[in-house]
């Protein structure tokens, strides 16, 4: 009767967001008096798998078939169905990411199970099995009750806090009867994108204004962008003065950006500038003038000299990245 | 004709002496699913193809405008109401108005579009013979060829029939040799086909010719530098013994002026459509800015002075729109009626349009002046940014201004409004004298206070509108009697009368629109529209009273003046209402919607 | 121009495009009935952009290039969704099927579509990567499961050659090229095709293209929405000391969830 959780891994290590999923599963298992079985498809060093115990996994069911190192939705489904049957599982957890979204609905369909795609909360068991998720692209939330016996949930990454504990999961090999059809998809080529991030598509943007004083100071801004994996942008006067190329100019008369995070450095926040950036989900403003209008449109503010604050922020991000591999 | 038909067959200009039933007018809230889809296509086309290129269009980037026209053509937008046999879609007039309105928000593109589909295509469609239509219309309909219209000359603007361009038959009888110059020719820079007006030999009246750009003897001057619509091509076109094959004479010899006038009737109502399309877009920009811009710690849309402007922009646009589609429907119905009586569809269309030429002139003036009001206040709402050449109001403000000049200046259209009305009365087509005498009689009698206890949502407004009609009949009747044949020279009086007629027609159209809407959706759902009606008619009463007073004072005196002024007061009296609250309600909905939402 | 040489010109390839009706993107969400329902008074509806811009247009391109013969559109909804189906038909498609049911449960929706699809046996089923109302992005993959065929999500490019399919799709931090055979379900996003504007011919044809209502098979939903909630108003700004950038990073991680 264990809670099953699909664990994603890449290049021999488990993705951090899958640890969140394991921990989420653990929380449910504790409330329902069961245990957590983590499913690892493909090949992964044993110690990585054992370490899932630190997040509450009781055991790992591993299918050490190297073909599964790549996503094969049908094969993944077959494996998960096998595991679910073997464990008599009623609750199956995955991530709401590219892989999870290809597999979870398939599994749910096969099991006639209710699916909550993109969970933002733990299930409320008092009211049934009620989970909160975003709808209308974040304009509202819905509280969804799963009424079927079996329940499938995909989690929004970075939503649930990690608490590392003690423990070691046992590893069992899971025998799965794959058919040829399970590997009907052949991966021909994989291209990881490197280099500059296009501004319009960027999830993270670092933008500089006249407060940076001159083009010679853009190095520290680019350092931060690089550390974050962010694109760079600027205010109009900066582009007009040729400190930065014109395609970086955002605002009413420039480009529009809607990233998850917009960091404005030395930009006053004129209405013309805001017009191009106020669709950003989060805005951080760094400005030495506490009265700068941009602070009113910001979620987080730092009052200080950009030339001093930027390197510190870059340092902090670097530290964070090292701790959250 | 059965009785029902005769009731439906409202005649042009009759609004002055007849009451119209609300259920007989068309209101834009009745667009059907297909029409809304077409409108959406227009809006999407502007958003994707035109708006991102406005600057390049205004810089007249080589080939861009003709390319946009071709793209519009590929979507079918150049041939909405062209008959199917010529590659068009044979849609009704209102649908083509809707397309004109939606594309009207496209600045210079809108001018190129309107000129091509209107004056560029229609003369051939309506007056061409089969061979001419087969040759030119399918290509114009698809956008492969672009059209232009050459009437204006250096010495002949408002007085269009006074042009100097001449045509004479060549020695071999195969060509007309066309000589002269035309100016202000929209689309000239890329047009393939020009409808050119010129007199043959020493004719009294103009004839019209279809001239292709490659005909020998046609040349173009460079682009004019204009205040606005900078992306619209405007050039002089020179004809130097230009060889026009005789088969390219359009319609009959000396029929040109009639063609020009009839095409203008359509052009005027279409211009009305295009300008309210632009108005709605400008209002949306103004609302967005007012909601964003903060001063003294609050968005400026929270301030009464700004809300007043937003409300006023919307009221005038909504009212103008009511008049435009009411008249469009009338034209369509009149066309159907003529067709049913045996006229061929194109003649029926021309007659149906001509029937409502007065309304078309009224709409041209009201809608173009509405847009000018809307852009002016738009600039004001934007404050300093309104004056920036990089904010949207700059282009809107400059581009709006032409609309009061072309398709007949607003002065010419005002004069036409009164002139056509009186001419129809003289011809016995419109019985103005009877009602005017009745009003004169009413002046002597005890005022009629009847109806005061009648109930109904529109009782008061209907009474006010009936009063407006009486006021106009009184002033016009007295002016005609007093000034007789001199009236034509007393242009100031004509202007006042035109203003009164315009306000009457728009007030009534608005009242009918809201009445019909209440019938469709219920009072609660259209509260703000009732507010608009109240405010508009309240203001119209003041305007009509003022214009009437100026007119009376300019030709009457003594007891007669006193009596007429008293009558005018009575006919334009309205109950006091709280227009401030009404405007606040209207603005609140705009601000909440963050766009023009009526 | 797409070359037809060496390409399967069978002309029998049938495509099913799944479309859904969603509120216009500028719609403000207002709740009613004690937050148990969305107030849809005055809401204008559009075809889900991913379905329209990418899935449907991709299908149209395949037909225009001679690869596909028939394009069917399918949606689950009551009669009031028909105007939106006709909007899609104005772009193209040979016929539309409306499963006459209201559903916002992915399993129920996918089952309805799967049952219909079985009766026609499509070669290719296209859908958008997700619908912008419930944001589940689940129907495509579930449908593939119910039909026991392959599924590729987040597609950015689709090439069909005979019965073999080459799809580029988004992966974390890059792109992958996959190959498989028909039949397959593909969920489309930007890149697969260029959005089109319906033209007059299409708009006028939309009315004449068959749109049939189909009675749904009996299947119960397995989820239910008990209540809705609106996001809290934007909280005021949080000020962070200039020499405490670790705190800022922590907030961006745990609160803003952007790192
Ligand atoms: C028609 C028009 C269109 C426009 N369109 C756009 C547009 O599209 N995009 C756009 O961005 N602008 C646009 N503008 C310009 C806009 O009005 C502002 O002038 C511009 O955004 C200001 O740029 P800024 O914030 O970089 O410079 P400033 O307004 O000069 O602000 C510099 C800021 O840096 C701060 N600062 C100074 N030194 C430091 C330091 N050492 N550390 C930290 N902070 C410091 C200051 O306190 C100040 O707030 C437009 C203007 C007009 C008239
Ligand atoms: C951008 C642009 C595009 C144009 N496109 C075309 C086109 O494509 N084809 C074409 O043929 N023409 C076109 N025109 C010409 C346009 O129709 C004329 O400019 C217009 O009719 C006015 O003529 P006008 O310029 O000669 O002014 P005028 O006739 O000289 O008028 C000057 C002023 O005198 C007033 N006035 C004139 N006569 C009287 C009168 N009898 N009583 C009282 N007041 C009077 C007018 O109202 C105006 O205020 C275009 C003009 C412009 C500016």
- Residue by residue, DSSP assigns B297-314 as TEEGGGSHHHHHHHHHHH
Using a 6 Å CB cutoff, which residues line ligand 1? A 209-211, 235-238, 251-254, 266-268, 270, 272-273, 276, 287-289, 292, 305-307; B 388, 390-391
Contacts of A127 in chain C (CB under 8 A): 226
| C171 within a domain of the structure (yes/no) | yes
Query: How would residue B447 be classed by pLDDT, with cut points 50, 70 and 90?
Result: low
Burial of A112 (0-12, 13-18, 19+ CB in 10 A): middle
Of A242, A244, A272, the one to substitute when testing ligand 1's pocket (max ligand atoms within 8 A of C-beta) is: A272
Residue A195 pLDDT: 56
Structural domain that includes position A298: 199-323
**Mapping DSSP to helix (H, G, I), strand (E, B) and coil, where does residue B209 land?**
strand
* Separation CA B236–CA B129 (nearest Å): 28
Query: Quick check: B6 pLDDT over 50?
Result: no
Nearest to A269, CA basis, from A235, A244, A301: A235
Using a 6 Å CB cutoff, which residues line ligand 2? B 115, 149-152, 157-158, 184-186, 226, 234, 402, 405-406, 409, 411-412, 491
Say whether both A167 and A31 belong to one domain.
yes
Q: What is the CATH number of domain B148-256?
A: 2.40.110.10
Beta bridge partners of B211: B194
Site from B36, B39, B40 to mutate, C interface, most C CB atoms within 10 angstroms: B40
| A120 within a domain of the structure (yes/no) | yes
Residue A67: how many CA atoms within 13 Å on its side-chain side?
15
What CATH class is the domain B257-412?
mainly alpha
Q: Give the C-alpha distances (Å, rounded to integers) separating A62 from A74, A102, A183, B416.
A: 17, 20, 18, 89
Say whether both A115 and A249 belong to one domain.
no
Q: Which fold has domain B28-146?
A: Butyryl-Coa Dehydrogenase, subunit A; domain 1 (1.10.540)
Q: Are C18 and C103 in contact (CB under 8 A)?
A: no
pTM of the model: 0.87
Question: Which A residues in the span 11-70 are in contact with C, Cβ-Cβ below 8 Å?
Answer: none
Query: Quick check: B7 pLDDT over 60?
Result: no
Query: How would residue B404 be classed by pLDDT, with cut points 50, 70 and 90?
Result: very high
Q: H or E element: which one contains A197?
A: none
3-state secondary structure labels for all residues of A75-109: HHHHHHHHHHHHHCCCEEEEECCHHHHHHHHHHHH
* Separation CA B570–CA B558 (nearest Å): 19
Domain total for chain A?
Answer: 2
Please report the beta strands in B268-372, taking only residues with DSSP state E, as ranges in sequence order.
294-295, 298-299
Residue B382: how many CA atoms within 13 Å on its side-chain side?
26
Q: Are A276 and A250 in contact (CB under 8 A)?
A: yes
- Contact check, Cβ <8 Å, B391/A271: no
Tokens standing for residue B571: 């006919």
| C256 within a domain of the structure (yes/no) | no
Beta bridge partners of A9: A14
Q: Please tell me what DSSP assigns to residue C54.
A: I
Q: Give the C-alpha distances (Å, rounded to integers) separating C241 from A317, B117, B451, B454, B478.
A: 16, 64, 74, 72, 82
CATH of the domain at A209: 3.40.50.1220
Instruction: Report the alpha-carbon angle A311-A317-A323, nearest 5.
Output: 140
Q: Please tell me what DSSP assigns to residue B595.
A: S
Query: Quick check: A282 pLDDT over 70?
Result: yes
> Which chains does A contact via 3+ CB–CB distances below 8 A?
B, C
- Taking the Cβ of residue A322 and every Cβ of chain C, the question of whether any pair is shorter than 8 Å is answered with no
Residue B485 pLDDT: 81
Query: How would residue C249 be classed by pLDDT, with cut points 50, 70 and 90?
Result: very high
- Contact check, Cβ <8 Å, C206/B34: yes
pLDDT digits (tens, 9 = 90+) for C49-96: 899 999 999 999 999 999 999 999 999 999 999 999 999 999 999 999
Instruction: Report the alpha-carbon angle A240-A242-A243, nearest 5.
Output: 110
Contacts of C200 in chain B (CB under 8 A): 38, 41, 75-77, 79-80, 89
* Separation CA A155–CA A116 (nearest Å): 9
| A315 within a domain of the structure (yes/no) | yes
| C156 within a domain of the structure (yes/no) | yes
Instruction: Report the alpha-carbon angle A265-A268-A274, nearest 5.
Output: 95
Please report the beta strands in C25-148, taking only residues with DSSP state E, as ranges in sequence order.
31-32, 37-38, 45-47, 70-76, 95-99, 124-128
Average confidence (pLDDT) over C216-224: 96
Q: Are A256 and A279 in contact (CB under 8 A)?
A: yes
Higher pLDDT, B405 or A242: B405
Q: Given A183, A217, A243, which residue is the final one in a domain? A: A183
Please enumerate in sequence order all residues whose Cβ is within 8 A of that of B530, keeping only pairs 6 or more positions apart, or say none.
B457, B514, B518, B523
Phi-psi region of A229 (alpha: psi -120 to 50; beta: other; left: phi over 0): left
* Separation CA A50–CA A172 (nearest Å): 11
Longest Cα separation, chain C: 68
Residue A151: how many CA atoms within 13 Å on its side-chain side?
24
Question: ipTM of the predicted structure?
Answer: 0.89
Whose structure tokens read 């902090």? A316
Whole-number percent of chain C with pLDDT over 70 = 95
Beta bridge partners of C225: A144
How are beta strands A170-173 and A59-63 bridged, if at all? Answer: parallel
Residue B452 pLDDT: 54
Q: Given A183, A209, A235, which residue is the final one in a domain? A: A183
At B172, phi and psi to the nearest 5? Answer: -85, 0
**Mapping DSSP to helix (H, G, I), strand (E, B) and coil, where does residue C64 land?**
helix
Query: Quick check: A9 pLDDT over 70?
Result: yes
Query: Quick check: C258 pLDDT over 70?
Result: yes
Please enumerate in sequence order all residues whose Cβ is within 8 A of that of B335, keeping only pairs 6 or more positions apart, or say none.
B93, B345, B348, B349, B351, B352, B353
Which regions of chain B carry the CATH code 1.10.540.10? Answer: 28-146
Tokens standing for residue B339: 């067709």
What CATH class is the domain B423-593?
mainly alpha
Say whether both A281 and A153 belong to one domain.
no
Nearest to B293, CA basis, from C136, A7, B285, B146: B285
CA-proximal residue: ligand 1, atom 18 (nearest): A270
Query: How would residue B582 be classed by pLDDT, with cut points 50, 70 and 90?
Result: very high
| Entry field: residues in chain C | 259
Say whether both A43 and A165 belong to one domain.
yes
Residue C7 pLDDT: 38
Nearest to B511, CA basis, from B472, B547, B459: B459
Residue A168: how many CA atoms within 13 Å on its side-chain side?
4
User: If you measure from the C-alpha of residue C247 to the centroid of ligand 1, how many angstroms do you get, rounded to a whole number?
Assistant: 27
Told to judge if B407 belongs to the known catalytic residues of this protein, a careful annotator would answer yes
Whole-number percent of chain A with pLDDT over 90 = 75
Say whether both A306 and A219 belong to one domain.
yes
Q: Are C94 and C129 in contact (CB under 8 A)?
A: no
Query: How would residue B453 be classed by pLDDT, with cut points 50, 70 and 90?
Result: low
Of A63-77, B321-335, B437-451, B556-570, the one with minimum mean pLDDT is B437-451
User: If you measure from the C-alpha of residue B409 to the centroid of ligand 2, how many angstroms do you get, rounded to a whole number?
Assistant: 6
Nearest to B71, CA basis, from B41, B39, B33: B41
CATH of the domain at A10: 3.40.50.620
Say whether both A6 and A128 belong to one domain.
yes
Residue B448 pLDDT: 59
Residue C11 pLDDT: 63
Residue B351 pLDDT: 93
pLDDT digits (tens, 9 = 90+) for A13-31: 999 889 999 999 999 999 9
pLDDT digits (tens, 9 = 90+) for C33-59: 999 999 988 888 999 989 999 999 999
Kindly tell me the sign of the dihedral angle through the C-alpha atoms of B566, B567, B572, B575: positive
How near does any CA of chain B get to the CA of C86, in Å? 9
- Contact check, Cβ <8 Å, A275/B292: yes
CA-proximal residue: ligand 1, atom 30 (nearest): A210
Query: How would residue B144 be classed by pLDDT, with cut points 50, 70 and 90?
Result: very high
Query: Quick check: B32 pLDDT over 60?
Result: yes
CATH of the domain at C167: 3.40.50.620
Tokens standing for residue A247: 């395609």
Average confidence (pLDDT) over A181-195: 86
| C208 within a domain of the structure (yes/no) | yes
Say whether both A155 and A234 belong to one domain.
no
CA C122 to chain centre: 17
Structural domain that includes position C203: 13-233
Q: Are B178 and B163 in contact (CB under 8 A)?
A: no
Q: Are C190 and C156 in contact (CB under 8 A)?
A: yes
Q: Please tell me what DSSP assigns to residue A196.
A: P
Domain total for chain C?
Answer: 1
Query: Quick check: B406 pLDDT over 60?
Result: yes
Q: Given A183, A217, A234, which residue is the final one in a domain? A: A183
Say whether both A204 and A167 belong to one domain.
no
pLDDT digits (tens, 9 = 90+) for B149-165: 999 999 999 999 999 99
Contacts of A281 in chain C (CB under 8 A): 256, 258
| A190 within a domain of the structure (yes/no) | no
- Taking the Cβ of residue A325 and every Cβ of chain C, the question of whether any pair is shorter than 8 Å is answered with no
**Looking at chain B, which residue has its C-alpha nearest residue A275?**
B292
Query: Quick check: A35 pLDDT over 80?
Result: yes
Say whether both A168 and A216 belong to one domain.
no
CA A152 to chain centre: 19
Residue C6 pLDDT: 34
Say whether both A29 and A147 belong to one domain.
yes
- Tell me the average pLDDT of chain A: 92
Radius of gyration, alpha carbons of chain A: 23
**Looking at chain A, which residue has its C-alpha nearest residue C112?**
A109
Please enumerate in sequence order all residues whose Cβ is within 8 A of that of B450, keeping only pairs 6 or more positions apart, or say none.
none
Please enumerate in sequence order all residues whose Cβ is within 8 A of that of B64, keeping only pairs 6 or more positions apart, or say none.
B53, B56, B57
Query: Quick check: A72 pLDDT over 50?
Result: yes
How near does any CA of chain A get to the CA of B388, in Å? 12
* Separation CA A280–CA C204 (nearest Å): 40
- Tell me the average pLDDT of chain B: 94
């Amino acid at each position: 009767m264990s809670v099953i959780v699909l664990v994603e891994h890449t290049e021999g290590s488990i993705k951090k967001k899958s640890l969140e999923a394991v921990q989420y599963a653990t929380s449910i298992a504790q409330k329902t008096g069961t245990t957590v079985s983590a499913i690892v498809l493909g090949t992964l060093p044993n110690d990585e798998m054992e370490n899932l115990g630190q997040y509450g996994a009781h055991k790992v069911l591993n299918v050490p078939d190297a073909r599964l190192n790549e996503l094969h939705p049908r094969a993944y489904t077959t494996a998960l169905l096998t595991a679910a049957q073997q464990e008599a599982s009623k609750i199956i957890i995955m991530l709401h990411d590219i892989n999870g979204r290809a597999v979870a609905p398939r599994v749910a369909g096969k099991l006639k199970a209710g699916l909550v795609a993109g969970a933002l909360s733990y299930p409320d068991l008092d009211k049934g099995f009620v989970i909160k998720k975003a709808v209308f692209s974040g304009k509202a939330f819905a509280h969804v009750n799963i009424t079927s016996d079996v329940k499938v949930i995909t989690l929004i990454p970075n939503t649930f806090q990690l608490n590392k504990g003690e423990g070691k999961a046992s590893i069992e090999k899971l025998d799965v009867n794959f058919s040829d059809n399970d590997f009907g998809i052949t991966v021909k080529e994989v291209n990881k994108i490197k280099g500059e991030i296009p501004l319009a598509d960027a999830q993270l943007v670092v933008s500089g204004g006249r407060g940076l004083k001159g083009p010679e100071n853009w190095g520290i801004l680019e350092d931060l962008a690089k550390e974050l994996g962010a694109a760079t942008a600027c205010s109009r006067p900066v582009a007009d003065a040729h400190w930065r190329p014109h395609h970086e100019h955002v605002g009413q008369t420039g480009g529009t950006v809607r990233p998850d995070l917009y960091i404005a450095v030395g930009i006053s926040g004129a209405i013309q500038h805001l017009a191009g950036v106020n669709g950003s989900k989060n805005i951080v403003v760094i400005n030495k003038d506490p009265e700068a209008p941009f602070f009113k449109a910001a979620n987080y503010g730092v009052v200080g000299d950009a030339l001093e604050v930027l390197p510190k922020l870059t340092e902090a991000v670097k530290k964070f990245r090292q701790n959250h591999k | 004709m059965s009785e029902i038909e005769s009731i439906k067959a409202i005649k042009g200009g009759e609004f002055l002496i007849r009451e119209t039933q609300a259920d007989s007018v068309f209101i834009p809230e009745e667009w059907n699913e297909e029409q809304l889809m077409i409108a959406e296509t227009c809006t999407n086309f502007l958003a994707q193809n035109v708006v991102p290129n406005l600057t390049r269009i205004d810089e007249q980037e080589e080939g861009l405008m003709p390319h946009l026209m071709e793209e519009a053509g590929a979507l079918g937008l150049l041939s909405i109401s062209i008959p199917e046999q010529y590659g068009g879609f044979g849609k009704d007039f209102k649908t083509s108005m809707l397309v004109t309105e939606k594309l009207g928000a496209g600045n210079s593109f809108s001018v190129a579009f309107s000129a091509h589909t209107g004056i560029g295509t229609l003369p051939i469609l309506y007056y061409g013979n089969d061979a001419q239509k087969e040759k030119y219309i399918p290509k114009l309909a698809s956008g492969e060829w672009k059209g232009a219209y050459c009437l204006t000359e250096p010495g002949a603007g408002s007085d269009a029939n006074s042009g100097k361009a001449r045509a004479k038959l060549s020695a071999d009888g195969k060509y007309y040799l066309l000589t002269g110059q035309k100016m202000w020719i929209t689309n000239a820079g890329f047009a393939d086909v020009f409808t050119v007006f010129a007199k043959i030999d020493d004719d009294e009246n103009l004839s019209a010719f279809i001239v292709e750009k490659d005909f020998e003897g046609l040349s173009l001057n460079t682009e004019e530098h204009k205040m606005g619509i900078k992306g619209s091509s405007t050039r002089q076109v020179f004809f130097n013994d230009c060889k026009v094959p005789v088969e390219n004479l359009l319609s009959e010899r000396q029929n040109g002026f009639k063609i020009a006038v009839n095409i203008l009737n359509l052009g005027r109502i279409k211009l009305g459509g295009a300008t309210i399309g632009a108005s709605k877009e400008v209002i949306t920009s103004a609302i967005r800015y007012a909601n964003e811009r903060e001063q003294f710690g609050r968005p400026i849309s929270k301030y009464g002075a700004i809300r007043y402007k937003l409300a006023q922009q919307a009221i005038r646009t909504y009212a103008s729109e009511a008049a435009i589609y009411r008249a469009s429907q009338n034209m369509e119905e009149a066309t159907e009626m003529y067709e049913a009586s045996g006229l061929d569809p194109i003649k029926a269309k021309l007659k149906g349009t001509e029937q409502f030429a007065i309304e078309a002139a009224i709409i041209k003036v009201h809608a173009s002046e509405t847009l000018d009001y809307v852009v002016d206040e738009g600039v004001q709402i934007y404050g300093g940014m309104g004056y920036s050449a990089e904010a949207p109001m700059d282009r809107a403000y400059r581009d709006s201004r032409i609309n009061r000049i072309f398709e007949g200046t607003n002065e010419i259209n005002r004069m036409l409004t009164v002139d056509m009305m009186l001419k129809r009365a003289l011809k016995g087509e419109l019985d103005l004298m009877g009602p005017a005498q009745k009003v004169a009689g009413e002046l002597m009698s005890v005022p009629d206070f009847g109806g005061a206890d009648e109930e109904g949502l529109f009782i008061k407004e209907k009474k006010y509108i009936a009063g407006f009609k009486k006021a106009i009949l009184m002033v016009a009747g007295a002016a005609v009697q007093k000034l007789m044949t001199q009236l034509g020279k007393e242009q100031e009086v004509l202007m006042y009368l035109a203003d009164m007629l315009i306000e009457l027609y728009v007030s009534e159209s608005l009242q009918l629109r809201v009445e019909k809407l209440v019938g469709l959706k219920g009072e609660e759902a259209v509260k703000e529209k009732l507010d608009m009606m109240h405010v508009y008619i309240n203001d119209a009463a003041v305007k009509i009273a003022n214009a009437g007073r100026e007119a009376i004072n300019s030709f009457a005196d003594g007891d007669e003046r006193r009596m007429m002024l008293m009558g005018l007061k009575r006919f334009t009296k309205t109950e006091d209402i709280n227009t401030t609250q009404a405007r606040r309600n209207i603005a609140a909905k705009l601000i909440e919607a963050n766009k023009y939402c009526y | 121009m797409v070359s037809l040489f060496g390409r399967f010109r069978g002309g029998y390839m049938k495509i099913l495009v799944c479309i859904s009706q969603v509120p216009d993107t500028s719609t403000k969400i207002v709740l009613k009935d004690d937050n148990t329902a969305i107030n849809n008074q005055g809401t204008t509806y559009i075809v889900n952009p991913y379905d329209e811009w990418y899935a449907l247009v991709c299908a149209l391109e395949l037909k225009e290039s001679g690869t596909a013969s028939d394009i069917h559109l399918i949606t689950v909804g009551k009669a009031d969704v028909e105007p939106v189906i006709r909007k899609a038909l104005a772009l193209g498609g040979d016929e539309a099927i409306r499963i006459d049911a209201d559903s916002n449960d992915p399993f129920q929706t996918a089952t309805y579509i799967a049952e219909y699809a079985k009766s026609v046996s499509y070669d290719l089923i296209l859908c958008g990567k997700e619908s912008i109302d419930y944001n589940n992005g689940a129907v495509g993959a579930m449908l593939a499961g119910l039909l026991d065929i392959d599924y590729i999500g987040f597609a950015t490019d689709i090439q069909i050659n005979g019965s073999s399919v080459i799809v580029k799709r988004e992966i974390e931090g890059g792109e992958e090229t996959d190959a498989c055979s028909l039949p397959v379900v593909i969920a489309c996003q930007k890149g697969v095709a260029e959005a089109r504007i319906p033209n007059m011919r299409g708009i006028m044809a939309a009315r004449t293209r068959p749109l049939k209502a189909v009675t749904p098979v009996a299947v119960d939903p397995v989820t239910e929405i008990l209540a809705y909630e609106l996001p809290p108003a934007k909280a005021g700004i949080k000020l962070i000391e200039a020499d405490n950038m670790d705190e800022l990073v922590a907030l961006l991680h745990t609160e803003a969830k952007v790192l």
